[in-house]
């Protein structure tokens, strides 16, 4: 009888290790089952503070999670949050219908108005932010997506996810017929103009028309509009602490959409100045009028070229050139 308590303790010690893994596995199965149920209803799961603690941060886990931290309400003044969320949804939907779909990866979104406590946990003061929460181990600096450098386009996000999780996602965008419709309308307008002018095709040989189209194309392309299309940068940046708006990106590795519009304006002003100077030599008017036109052309070139160089100096630290404006 004196050995009975000892036997009971020994049996309990032997049973605890066998029961503990089962309990841990049950918790994991419940978490995965709940995440699958949520993702089946909506590919991007809305994450609150409790969900973040239970399903993202706490163990056990055998899956990774990608979270978008955003501020969708207009009162926050996040100009790019809506576009970033749309691209993020494209990635999540593409993953759901891809061959690599499994329970190893889930997508979630934390809206500031629903999860301000999560923003505080992660020490975030701006949005949008994309983060990867790995299956095992601690988060690394590369688990935070560099949106300023790579933009928020779905293809770039999928590439980053592949680097962090080794899960390949082929992006499937919903069909967008806007470009086709616009191109068709432009073609119809062009055909209509040719038909109406069928008796007089002189406009086809109009040098001013083709010159204007050529200059417009060059200005459009050199201002970085194609870079905007590929990278999908934010329109501008609002400092969440001070509320100040930044129109020019502070790094040579990125740019804002508004910044490219400024560069396009400066380049167009320089072009107009040179065109004005070129036309002065062909004018057959009095010298006073020609002198005035020449001064206008010189003024346009001087002003816009000075502002353009000043913009470069602000972006590229150590840029050696300037003119009038430092």
- Tell me the per-residue pLDDT of 282-298, one tens digit each, with 9 for 90 and over: 777 778 888 888 899 89
Compare 238 and 73 and report the one with higher pLDDT: 73
pLDDT given at position 35: 92
CA dihedral sign, ordered 12, 14, 20, 26: negative
Same domain, 46 and 154: yes
The neighbouring-strand residues paired with 133 are 65
Same domain, 34 and 100: yes
The arithmetic mean of pLDDT across residues 89-96, rounded, is 91
Give the count of domains, the chain.
2
Query: Is the pLDDT confidence value at 10 over 90?
Result: no
Residue 134, in any domain of the structure = yes
Same domain, 215 and 286: yes
Structure tokens at 64: 């990774």
Residue 83, in any domain of the structure = yes
Same domain, 253 and 311: yes
**Spatial distance between the Cα atoms of 106 and 179, rounded to a whole number of angstroms:** 33
What DSSP letter does each residue of 240-271 carry, written as one string? TTT--EE-S-SSTT---HHHHHHHHHHHHHHH
Residue 321, in any domain of the structure = no
Query: Is the pLDDT confidence value at 14 over 60?
Result: no
Q: What is the mean pLDDT of the chain?
A: 82
pLDDT given at position 19: 45
Same domain, 31 and 142: yes
CA-based nearest residue to 311, from 275, 262, 276, 268: 262
**Spatial distance between the Cα atoms of 49 and 52, rounded to a whole number of angstroms:** 5
CA-based nearest residue to 218, from 256, 169, 263: 263
pLDDT given at position 253: 67
Residue 189, in any domain of the structure = no
Confidence class for position 22, pLDDT limits 50, 70, 90:
low
Which phi and psi angles does 47 have, rounded to 5°? -105, 125
Residue 112, in any domain of the structure = yes
Range of the domain at 301: 206-315
Query: Is the pLDDT confidence value at 15 over 70?
Result: no
Question: By mean pLDDT, which of 80-84, 153-157, 241-245, 311-315 is the weakest?
Answer: 241-245
Structure tokens at 17: 């290790």
Residue 75, in any domain of the structure = yes
Residue 97, in any domain of the structure = yes
Residue 34 sits in a domain whose CATH number is: 3.40.30.10
The arithmetic mean of pLDDT across residues 85-114, rounded, is 90
Q: What is the pLDDT of residues 34-83, one digit of tens each?
A: 999 998 899 999 999 899 999 998 888 899 999 999 998 878 778 788 88
Residue 285, in any domain of the structure = yes
């Amino acid at each position: 009888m004196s050995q009975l308590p000892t036997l009971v303790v020994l049996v309990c010690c032997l049973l605890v290790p066998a029961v503990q893994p089962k309990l841990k596995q049950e918790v994991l199965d419940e978490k995965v089952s709940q995440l699958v149920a949520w993702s089946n209803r909506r590919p991007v799961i809305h994450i609150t503070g409790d969900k973040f603690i239970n399903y993202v941060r706490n163990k056990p886990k055998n899956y990774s999670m990608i979270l978008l931290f955003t501020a969708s309400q207009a009162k926050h003044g996040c100009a790019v949050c809506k576009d970033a969320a749309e691209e993020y949804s494209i990635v999540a939907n593409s993953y759901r219908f891809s061959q690599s779909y499994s329970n190893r990866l889930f997508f979630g979104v934390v809206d500031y108005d629903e999860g301000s406590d999560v923003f505080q946990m992660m020490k975030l003061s701006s949005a949008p932010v994309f983060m990867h929460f790995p299956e095992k181990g601690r988060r690394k600096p590369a688990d935070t997506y560099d949106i300023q450098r790579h933009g928020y386009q779905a293809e770039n996000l999928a590439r980053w996810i592949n680097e962090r999780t080794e899960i390949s996602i082929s992006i499937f965008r919903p069909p967008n017929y806007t470009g086709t419709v616009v191109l068709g309308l432009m073609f119809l307008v062009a055909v209509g103009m040719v038909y109406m002018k069928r008796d007089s095709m002189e406009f086809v040989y109009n040098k001013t028309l083709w010159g204007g189209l050529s200059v417009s194309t060059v200005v459009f392309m050199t201002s970085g509009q194609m870079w905007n299309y590929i990278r999908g940068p934010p329109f501008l940046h609002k400092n969440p602490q001070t509320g100040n708006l930044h129109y020019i990106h502070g790094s040579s590795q990125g740019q804002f959409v508004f910044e490219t519009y400024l560069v396009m304006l400066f380049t167009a002003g320089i072009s107009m100045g040179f065109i004005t100077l070129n036309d002065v030599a062909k004018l057959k008017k009095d010298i006073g009028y020609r002198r005035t036109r020449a001064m206008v052309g010189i003024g346009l070139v001087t002003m816009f070229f000075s502002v353009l160089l000043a913009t470069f100096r602000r972006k590229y630290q150590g840029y050696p050139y300037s003119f009038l404006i430092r």
